[in-house]
């Protein structure tokens, strides 16, 4: 691989101390030296290993777009906005319990519950909020456990620690749910297997979540604590436009709201460098940003495996599907491209050169050009 | 340990220097002995404690050296001969009392303090020359050159002490204290001791006669100097001052203490016995000036051989200046001339090199290839960096603390202290300890650092101390922290013993120096009563310990005490407590150098019970050393180290 002979020192020099870390959690848990704590990646002691998976699988060290794409889809990377798409539509859960718990349409929870129920997977590596509403990586092995993971905290959660916490010898069939950066890390793992985690072949499919940015647990969580009694919150929500707010839904059905402008300073700095709104290396990507109607999800099917799962969900009649209007697709693409351009702008501001694109340095010239174009 | 109360006068026994000191005190009829443990003197009190009942003496481990000296002084005041024992650092602790004791003088019975210094610093964190204390407080000082002489000198020191009514120091060094050699025993007195009495009361009209109340009056200070002059007179004819050599030597060596042997051997080796004389001083303060002046007049060149400070060198040169012009043609060699160093231990080689240079002799001690061969040979010896024992609870504490400091992320600052855990400044404590000075000073420094917030100091402050150190000198510092509301976390690493000096009991152990049961001074209750919050952790519960320390670091308010309670593994072994676990390594799981481990157990954790199997390259257990604590199993990232409940 391009970045042999680099380990935790370089991970800190090139990513974490540069403010590029997205908090995906790929570097932690499988390693006794690196842990996440209080929203930071912490090194507990000095690892002298010249070459480390921590560096290798980080989505913000050099990212071989074609290599990862080949490992995931068998082809080189081609698209410039929302990645490879076999099918695109909108969907929502039919199950009323899932509908109630889900962030928008409950499609993610529905598909995963189905996969567990049908034995397609035995465990789902996802993210779950604790009592304090801080997200952590979590391994769900039942519908009940899965339901407890539904809903978004909008905070960086180091979710891949769940996968990394499985013993290397584990043969459990696995689904991974995550945002773009997390799915990118999984892509890198598929390209080059981690030494100390289960074989990525065990990962039967990945569900990507649309993500424009996440909030920093270091700054946002303390703010959150001052805003409300966290144990009473049942849901956080950024409602669809024209709303421009961050809402707290309470157990007693109250809702309180703050302007997004108040929230934005708490965005995790590393997220500004992210190019991947729609989790382009997943089997299915699901979200609402930029496209969906309230109570619905936009679904992008990217791989045959993803298509099979959707087909099964249809057969089992667990989700409701409608075509996504062309106008919405166009809008999604424009939002996704905007994200890429904003990321590249941030990167070039940092490096001072359009030739130095940090982790995106491996992009082909034609694609890089698209990202650079204003 | 030899029984030092054998009553066979004239017989020869093998004794450690410290045992010879104890025997000397017995022969002198000592009634009370008190000390705080400190290498190289730690064996004196146990030797006396063992025969305490047999010899009808009172022996104690005191909470610190100042108290030990006060206990001994009390006995002297009441007419009982008493002995205080301390290492060089202890002399500083005791000094505050001693500088006032010299004003009042002692009681009717002699009082001797045996101090052993540590040239080379093998068991100390300084290399202080404690002889200076005798000079600045004007008390007599003697230096034995062998175990036999240590025994005789202690005995005689009681007589001198009584003759001049002053506390008298006998100063050894590690080489005297720890060397075992033949010692000819003397008579032991009967068990009967004088009945303690206090004859004097304060008499305003006759303050010189009134005892035991010091004051800044010339009336106290003038007699002190008269006493010192009297001691000088006694020393002029002391048989502990000896001269060996020709009547008019080309070179006169003036030496004392352990260095005497180096001088004798050096002169012999060079076959310079006809040209070089050795004046060995047993009494080094006050200087026997007439004796020294006589010898100065017999030569033109003088070489001083003494370890550490040029103490005798300066006294003699001062004297020589006073004797000018008679001494004008003398040339002096020693630390000042650079022939010796005022630091580190001396050796016969160093003395020979000095002699050869001064006398203009070429000396080839060894084959020219020797140095190269020695260097080659040294490579065959495995590198053995300092380490804590297998299963040491301090390693667990430091592991949890290191992780807590990293998780906290504000560069927590640990002030260290004196004990096995002093090794925390290096690998065994994962380089966590940032300061180390005197007993108790970690807490004092932390108390100061905890008040620097107003200047922008935002690192969490921590201090560490051992259980024995807590009673010795930490308590006042903790009181200070509570009183001044200083925010720091004090870790008391309570391993149930004064482990570093040899497991002596202390006020928290429930045991006296003589082995009898004692009241336990409950450190937890003491800390609470002082007003500090207290939590207790077993450091082997790494998760809870880490969480507790992290939480404490983030708490506001005054001092927070966390007692890390786990018995020293060596104490467990002494008490025959069986190991908790049987440990083995599953080689198929061990990642060794690979990513995800990078030899966490043998490279970083580094318990001596862990090793690398040379054949497989995997971690392995050294069964000869492993004590079955199980901690390595808890830190192994892939559970390759397996602990099984041991069959008890």
DSSP characters over B173-237: EHHHHH-EEEEE--PPPPS--PPP-------TT-TTTS-S---S-HHHHHHHHHHHHHHHHHHHT
The minimal CB distance from A196 to the residues B596, B603, B635 is found for B596
CA of B385 vs chain A CAs: smallest distance (Å): 19
Which residue in this structure is represented by tokens 């680099």?
A6
pLDDT, tens only, B141-179: 999 999 999 999 999 999 999 999 999 999 999 999 999
Whether pLDDT at B210 is above 90: no
Q: What is the mean pLDDT of residues B54-58?
A: 96
Q: From CA A37, how far away is CA B257, in angstroms rounded?
A: 59
- A-B contacts (CB, under 8 Å): 56
Cα of B311 to nearest chain A Cα, Å: 47
Interchain proximity A42–B597, CB inside 8 Å: no
pLDDT digits (tens, 9 = 90+) for A57-72: 999 999 999 999 999 9
Q: How far is CA B463 from CA A168, B417, B440, in A?
A: 40, 8, 10
Which H or E element spans position A34?
A: strand A34-37
Q: Which of A117-121, A253-257, B218-222 has the highest mean pLDDT?
A: A117-121
The Cα B180–Cα B19 span in angstroms is: 9
How confident is the model over A300-324, as pLDDT tens digits?
999 999 999 999 999 999 999 999 9
Phi, psi of B301 (to 5 degrees): -130, 135
Any idea what DSSP says for residue A13? I
Checking if the pLDDT of A362 tops 90, the result is: no
Percentage of the residues of chain B whose pLDDT score is greater than 90: 89
Rg of chain A (C-alpha set) = 19
Whether the ω angle into residue B325 lies within 30 degrees of 0, i.e. cis, is yes
Tell me the average pLDDT across A349-372: 87
Residue A125 forms beta bridges with which residues?
A: A139, A176
Whether the CA torsion A238, A242, A244, A250 is positive or negative: it is negative
Cα–Cα distance for residue pair A235/A295, rounded to 1 Å: 14
Cβ contact A281:A72 at 8 Å: yes
Cβ within 8 Å, pair A38-B596: no
* Mean predicted lDDT score pLDDT of chain B: 94
On whether the CB atoms of residues B75 and B109 are closer than 8 A, the answer is: yes
> What's the sign of the alpha-carbon dihedral A194, A199, A200, A201?
positive
- Containing B34, the helix (H) or strand (E) segment is strand B32-35
Query: Which residues in chain B have their CB less than 8 angstroms from residue A49's CB?
Result: 593-595, 598
Which residues, listed in sequence order, are joined to residue B276 by a DSSP beta bridge? B251
Best residue in B405, B542, B595 for a mutation probing chain A (most A CBs within 10 Å): B595
* Total-model pTM: 0.92
Q: Which helix (H) or strand (E) holds B476?
A: helix B475-483
CA distance A43 to chain B (A): 7
| Phi, psi of B349, rounded to the nearest 5 degrees | -60, -45
Residue pLDDT, tens place only, B344-372? 999 999 999 999 999 999 998 888 899 89
Q: B388 Cβ partners below 8 Å, 6+ apart?
A: B394, B395, B420, B423, B428, B429
For residue A374, what pLDDT band results from cuts at 50, 70 and 90? low
Task: Flag whether pLDDT at B199 surpasses 80.
Answer: no
Q: Min CA distance, A63 vs chain B (Å)? A: 20
**pLDDT more than 70, % of chain A:** 98
List the beta bridge partners of residue B494.
B565
Helix pair angle (A365-372, A326-351), 10° resolution: 100
B270-297 per-position pLDDT tens digit: 999 999 999 999 999 999 999 999 999 9
B191 — pLDDT class (breaks 50, 70, 90): confident
Is the predicted pLDDT of residue B646 greater than 90, yes or no? Answer: no
Asked if A1 has any chain B CB less than 8 Å from its own CB, the reply is: no
**Closest residue by Cα to residue A275 from A49, A10, A83, A16:** A83
What ipTM describes this predicted complex? 0.89
Judge: A195–B595 Cβ closer than 8 Å, yes or no.
Answer: yes
Please tell me whether the peptide bond between B284 and the residue prior to it is cis, using omega within 30 degrees of 0. Answer: no
A196 lies within 8 A of chain B by CB: yes
pLDDT at position B209: 57
Flag if A31 and B594 touch (Cβ within 8 Å): no
What integer is the mean pLDDT of B52-72?
97
- Residue B217 burial (C-beta neighbours within 10 Å; 0-12, 13-18, 19+): exposed
| Residues of B in Cβ contact (< 8 Å) with A42 | 406-407, 409
> Considering only CA atoms, which of A165, A155, A160, A209 is closest in space to residue A189?
A160
Running DSSP on this structure, what letter comes out for residue B248? S
pLDDT at B301 over 80: yes
Cα separation, B313 vs B285, in Å, equals 12
Contact B596 A48 (CB under 8 A): no
- pLDDT value at residue A1: 44
* A168: nearest CA partner in chain B: B638
Q: Considering only CB atoms, which chain A residues are within 8 Å of B591? A: 195-196
In what helix (H) or strand (E) does residue A96 lie, and over which residues does it extend?
Answer: helix A96-101
Range with lowest mean pLDDT among A201-210, B368-377, B430-439: B368-377
Task: Say whether pLDDT at B216 is over 70.
Answer: no
**Whether the predicted pLDDT of A3 surpasses 50:** no
Does residue B638 belong to the interface with chain A, where contact is any CB pair within 8 Å? yes
**Tens-place pLDDT, residues B309-353:** 999 999 999 999 999 999 999 999 999 999 999 999 999 999 999
Mean pLDDT of B546-554: 97
Task: Determine the distance in angstroms separating the CA of A60 from the nearest CA of chain B, rounded to an integer.
Answer: 19
Q: Give A52→chain B minimum CA distance, Å.
A: 6
Beta bridge partners of A249: A235, A255
């Amino acid at each position: 691989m391009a970045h042999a002979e680099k380990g935790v020192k370089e991970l800190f020099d090139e990513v974490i101390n540069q403010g590029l870390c997205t908090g995906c959690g790929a570097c932690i848990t499988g390693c006794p030296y690196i842990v996440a704590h209080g929203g930071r990646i912490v090194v507990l002691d000095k690892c002298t290993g010249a070459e480390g998976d921590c560096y290798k699988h980080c989505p913000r060290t050099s990212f071989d777009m074609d290599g990862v794409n080949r490992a995931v889809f068998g082809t080189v990377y081609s698209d410039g906005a929302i990645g490879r798409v076999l099918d695109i539509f909108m969907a929502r859960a039919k199950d009323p319990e899932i509908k109630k718990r889900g962030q928008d349409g409950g499609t993610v929870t529905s598909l995963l519950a189905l996969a567990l129920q049908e034995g397609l997977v035995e465990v789902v590596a996802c993210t779950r909020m604790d009592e304090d509403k801080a997200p952590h990586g979590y391994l769900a092995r039942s519908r009940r456990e899965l339901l407890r993971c539904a809903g978004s905290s909008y905070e960086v959660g180091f979710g891949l620690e769940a996968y990394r916490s499985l013993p290397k010898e584990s043969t459990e069939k696995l689904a991974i749910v995550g945002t773009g950066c997390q799915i990118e890390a999984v892509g890198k793992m598929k390209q080059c297997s981690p030494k100390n985690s289960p074989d990525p072949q065990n990962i039967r499919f990945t569900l990507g979540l649309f993500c424009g940015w996440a909030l920093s647990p270091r700054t946002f969580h303390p703010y959150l604590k001052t805003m409300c009694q966290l144990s009473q919150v049942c849901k956080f929500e950024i409602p669809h436009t024209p709303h421009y707010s961050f809402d707290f839904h309470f157990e007693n059905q109250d809702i309180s709201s703050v302007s997004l402008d108040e929230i934005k300073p708490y965005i995790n700095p590393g997220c500004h460098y992210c190019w991947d709104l729609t989790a382009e290396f997943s089997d299915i990507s699901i979200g609402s940003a930029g496209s969906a109607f309230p109570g619905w999800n936009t679904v992008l099917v990217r791989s045959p495996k993803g298509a099979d799962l959707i087909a099964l969900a249809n057969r089992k009649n667990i989700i409701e599907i409608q075509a996504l209007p062309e106008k919405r697709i166009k809008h999604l693409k424009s939002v996704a491209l905007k994200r890429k351009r904003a990321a590249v702008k941030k990167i070039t501001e940092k490096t001072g050169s359009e030739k130095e694109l940090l982790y995106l340095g491996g992009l082909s010239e034609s694609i890089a050009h698209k990202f650079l174009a204003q | 340990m030899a029984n030092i109360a054998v009553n066979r006068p004239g017989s020869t026994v093998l004794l450690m220097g410290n045992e010879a000191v104890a025997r000397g005190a017995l022969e002198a009829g000592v009634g009370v002995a008190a000390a705080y443990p400190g290498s190289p003197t730690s064996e004196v009190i146990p030797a006396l404690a063992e025969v305490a009942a047999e010899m009808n003496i009172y022996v104690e481990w005191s909470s610190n050296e100042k108290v030990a000296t006060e206990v001994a002084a009390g006995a002297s005041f009441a007419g009982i001969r008493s002995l205080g024992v301390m290492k060089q650092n202890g002399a500083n602790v005791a000094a505050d009392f001693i500088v006032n004791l010299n004003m009042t003088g002692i009681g009717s019975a002699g009082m001797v303090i045996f101090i052993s210094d540590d040239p080379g610093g093998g068991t100390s964190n300084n290399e202080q020359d404690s002889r200076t204390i005798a000079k600045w407080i004007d008390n007599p000082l003697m230096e034995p050159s062998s175990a036999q002489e240590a025994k005789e000198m202690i005995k005689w020191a009681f007589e001198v002490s009584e003759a001049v009514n002053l506390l008298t120091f006998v100063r050894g060094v590690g080489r005297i204290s720890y060397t075992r050699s033949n010692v000819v025993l003397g008579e032991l007195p009967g068990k009967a001791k004088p009945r303690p009495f206090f004859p004097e009361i304060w008499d305003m009209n006759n303050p010189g006669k009134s005892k035991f109340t010091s004051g800044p009056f010339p009336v106290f200070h003038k007699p002190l100097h008269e006493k010192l002059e009297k001691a000088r007179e006694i020393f002029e004819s002391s048989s502990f001052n000896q001269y060996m050599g020709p009547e008019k030597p080309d070179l006169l060596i003036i030496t004392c203490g352990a260095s005497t042997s180096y001088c004798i051997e050096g002169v012999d080796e060079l076959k310079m016995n006809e040209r070089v004389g050795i004046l060995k001083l047993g009494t080094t303060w006050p200087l026997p000036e007439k004796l020294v002046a006589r010898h100065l007049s017999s030569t033109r060149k003088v070489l001083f051989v003494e370890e550490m400070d040029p103490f005798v060198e300066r006294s003699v040169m001062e004297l020589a200046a006073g004797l000018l012009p008679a001494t004008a043609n003398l040339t002096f060699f020693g630390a000042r001339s650079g022939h010796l160093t005022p630091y580190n231990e001396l050796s016969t080689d160093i003395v020979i090199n000095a002699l050869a240079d001064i006398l203009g002799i070429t000396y080839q001690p060894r084959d020219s290839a020797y140095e190269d061969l020695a260097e080659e040979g040294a490579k065959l010896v495995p590198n053995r960096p300092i380490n804590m024992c297998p299963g040491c609870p301090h390693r667990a504490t430091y592991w949890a603390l290191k992780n807590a400091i990293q998780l906290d992320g504000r560069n927590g600052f640990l002030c260290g202290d004196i004990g096995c855990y002093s090794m925390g400044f290096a690998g065994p404590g994962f380089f966590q300890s940032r300061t180390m000075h005197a007993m108790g000073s970690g807490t004092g420094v932390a108390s100061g650092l905890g008040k620097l917030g107003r200047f922008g100091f935002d690192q969490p402050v921590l201090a560490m101390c051992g259980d024995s150190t807590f009673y010795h000198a930490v308590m006042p510092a903790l009181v200070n922290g509570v009183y001044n509301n200083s925010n720091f976390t004090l870790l008391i690493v309570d391993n149930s013993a004064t482990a570093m000096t040899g497991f002596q009991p202390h006020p928290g152990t429930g045991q006296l120096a003589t082995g009898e049961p004692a009241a336990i001074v409950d450190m937890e209750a003491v800390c609470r009563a002082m007003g500090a919050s207290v939590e207790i952790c077993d450091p082997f519960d790494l998760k809870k310990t880490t969480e507790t320390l992290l939480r404490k670091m983030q708490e506001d308010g005054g001092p927070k005490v966390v007692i890390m309670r786990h018995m020293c593994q060596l104490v467990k072994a002494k008490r025959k407590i069986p190991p908790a676990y049987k440990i083995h390594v599953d080689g198929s799981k061990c990642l060794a150098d690979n990513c995800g481990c990078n030899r966490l157990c043998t490279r970083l954790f580094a318990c001596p019970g862990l090793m690398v199997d040379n054949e497989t390259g995997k971690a392995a257990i050294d069964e000869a050393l492993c004590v079955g604590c199980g901690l390595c199993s808890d830190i192994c990232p892939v559970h390759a180290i397996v602990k099984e409940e041991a069959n008890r």
